[in-house]
Structure 1
Amino acid sequence: CKGEIFLKFENMQRTGSFKIRGAFNKLSSLTDAEKRKGVVACSAGNHAQGVSLSCAMLGIDGNVVMPKGAPKSKVAATCDYSAEVVL
């Protein structure tokens, strides 16, 4: 069997998952007025990181609500990117 194989390594994204693609796409489509209001998201992990990093990249204030049982590594990464985390 001959052919080409194309791979898309989403695990090589800065956040380690594809979730940043959706978060960045949505946040970049906000109007300037909406961006000034900031955003709130709820997630226990990858989406939280995607939203937080996207906020940092776009200069948007972000708050991410995470469950108290969220993995500490996910909470730390989300905080490191820019968002204020509420457990």
Structure 2
Amino acid sequence: MTTNIDLDEGTCSLDLLEAASGIFGLMLVQARAIVKEVATVTTTWRDTAKAVGARSAEINRMASAFEHDDFRQALAL
């Protein structure tokens, strides 16, 4: 599943999100703070998935939505 960040580009990336932040009325520093907050909160996604009863196979299928280069870059902001 993906969600377009802007009207012209169908891929999702942290770089594109930063470039499009003004479209959403955010200064770059605000957008980065939100991205870091979301990334920080989602670091425990595996534990949360287990806690709500997701099986290992389901968790492994979800991993690519959370564990990728943009996520690591977001945590480093």
Which has the greater radius of gyration? Answer: 1
Q: As a proportion of its length, which structure holds more strand? A: 1
Higher relative contact order (CA 8 A, sep 6+): 2
TM-score normalised by L of structure 2: 0.34
TM-score normalised by L of structure 1: 0.32
